[in-house]
A = this chain, B = another copy of it.
Amino acid sequence: MELEHYFPIWGKLTGAEKVILEQSAVERAAPKGTMLHNGSSDCVGVFLIRSGQLRAFILSDEGKEITIYRLFERDLCLFSASCMMQSIQFDVTIEAEKDSELWVIPTDVYKKLMDTSAVVANYTNQVMASRFSEVMWLVEQIMWKSFDKRLASFLLEESTLDGSDTLRITHDRIAAHMGTAREVVTRMLRYFQEEGMVALTRGAIELKDRKRLQQLSE
């Protein structure tokens, strides 16, 4: 068990708290595409990411999506245990976006730790504030940034996450991430291609001019 290397505040926990976490956390493999948490229908526990990449998104009544943030190694996912905080009045869906490994800390175990330990409660607060900040960034993007700028940012971010200039992603998936329609994405990508910023091939988008994409996104 290497939980101690991944739990960010391990060194600040008491011996008893460490034992509780080690005994209750369950390792889980989540291959790409696994739905790990489905809105309000479950409350499986807090996820601690060991490797891979998770995506948190919200769903409209009509099935439209928008990505609100990603989770990476050492991140803690609170919303898969949202029933432990009655003030959380929204539903988030969590899926594995890459092959991932994680620990599941049962909701009641985490809640008990948080209720009794100021250290755990304050760390939870920091995690919540980080996610909140990401959503506030999203609000600003949606309200004040035009779609071409948002798309340029998205392509650059994906390229960084994948470590490649060639993105294997469909226009449909981009539309789901950004909460828009596929046609809107396709139209803008074609414009980017005409401008020499990207090259579109079957199933892939190649970034040809990162500098201009960067300028556009700013």
Residue positions of A touching B, CB distance < 8 A: 58, 60-62, 64, 66, 68, 85-90, 114-118, 120-122, 124-133, 135-140, 142-144, 179
Bound Cα distance A42, B144 (Å): 24
20 CB contacts below 8 A, A to B, read A60-B140, A60-B143, A61-B144, A66-B143, A68-B139, A85-B129, A88-B129, A89-B136, A90-B132, A90-B137, A90-B140, A114-B118, A115-B118, A118-B121, A121-B121, A125-B125, A125-B128, A132-B132, A142-B142, A142-B143
> Looking at chain A's contact residues, is the secondary structure mostly helix, strand, loop, or mixed?
helix
Cross-interface CB contact of A144 among B64, B121, B140, cutoff 8 Å = B64
Assembled-state Cα–Cα distance A89/B86 (Å): 24
> Quick one: closest B residue to A140, CB to CB?
B58
Q: Roughly how many angstroms separate A137 CA and B139 CA in the complex, as a whole number?
A: 11
Bound complex: CA of A40 vs CA of B124, how far in Å? 23
**Given A87-B133, A118-B118, A126-B86, A138–B139 Cβ distance below 8 Å?**
yes
Which one, B87, B121, B130, B137, contacts A87 given CB within 8 A? B130
C-alpha spacing A131/B89, complex, angstroms: 10
Least CB distance, A200 to chain B, in whole angstroms: 26
Whether A66 pairs with B139 at a CB distance below 8 angstroms is yes
Q: How far is the CB of A143 from chain B (nearest CB, A)?
A: 5
Instruction: Give the Cβ gap from A126 to chain B, nearest Cβ, in Å.
Output: 4
A68, A86, A126, A144 pick with most chain B CB within 10 angstroms = A144
